[in-house]
Amino acid sequence: MARKSLVSVVENGLLERIVDGVYAIGASLPSEAELATDFDVSRLTVREAMRSLSTQGVIEVVSGVGSSVRPPERWASLDALLRYRSVHGDGDVAVQLVAVRRMFEAEAAALAAERITDADLEALAACIDAMRAASDAGDVDAFVAGDLRFHDLIMRRSDNVFLATLFAPLTRVLADRRAETSRVPQIQRNALVEHERVLDALRARDAVAARAAMEGHMQQTLDDLRAYVLNDR
């Protein structure tokens, strides 16, 4: 495996341990030598991985002293922060994620309405069909896969590379959140209705209607989150 790939493996492994609480906030990390042995890589590979995490603000490296985990509010990496907050966040974090989705996805839907092709519409309809079949079969994973693909297609069809790139770090967190919420049958039923409304607006090539439909979908998502998930907690 190329060293660059090994660096990524170590970097992701360290971040995962931080997110999981193996290395607590403010705690010192093991030495480079210990981590090299633990990950079965060279010390140089560990050093590069730690340098990357330091650049992201996740850890602080002090020459001659060692490394420690910085508070999440000081992290500069959106991906790292999302991963941490998805595990350690409360209901407010879940609500904030929906608010972020609303901002990104409503505009993506409006842009997509002006660029959508017949092939795209068929693909979106196929996603809804897959979600419906998965719901009938009680297959939550398949339901989530269809849901994520539906939104990914719209984001891509916005043809805005910045919008799609900024939204990308949310993908991992959204998959985890969808798996949690989509276990509720009523949430599945509501989601199917809202996806159909978004698709209808896109079929009409109506940017205003597409934006409104996606905002309505996000509001329903928020309402369902509060009614069926957060209240249960």
pLDDT of the chain along its 233 residues, tens only?
555 689 999 999 999 999 999 999 999 999 999 999 999 999 999 999 999 999 999 999 988 889 999 999 999 988 888 788 877 765 577 788 888 889 999 999 999 999 999 999 999 999 999 999 999 999 999 999 999 999 999 999 999 988 888 887 777 667 767 777 888 999 999 999 999 999 999 999 999 999 999 999 999 999 998 898 887 54
Place of tokens 């941490």: 84
DSSP SS3 for 28: strand
- Strands of 32-188, DSSP E: 59-62, 66-69
Residue 193 buriedness (CB in 10 A; 0-12 / 13-18 / 19+): exposed
Whether 10 and 45 have beta carbons less than 8 Å apart is answered as yes
Under 8 Å between Cβ of 159 and 111: yes
Domain boundaries, the chain: 3-74, 89-230
Annotate 52-88 with b (16+ C-beta within 10 A) or e (fewer): bbeebbbbbbeeeeebbbbebeebebebbbbbbbbee
- The architecture that CATH gives domain 89-230 is Up-down Bundle (1.20)
Three-class SS state of 205: coil
- This prediction has a pTM of 0.73
CATH class of 3-74: mainly alpha
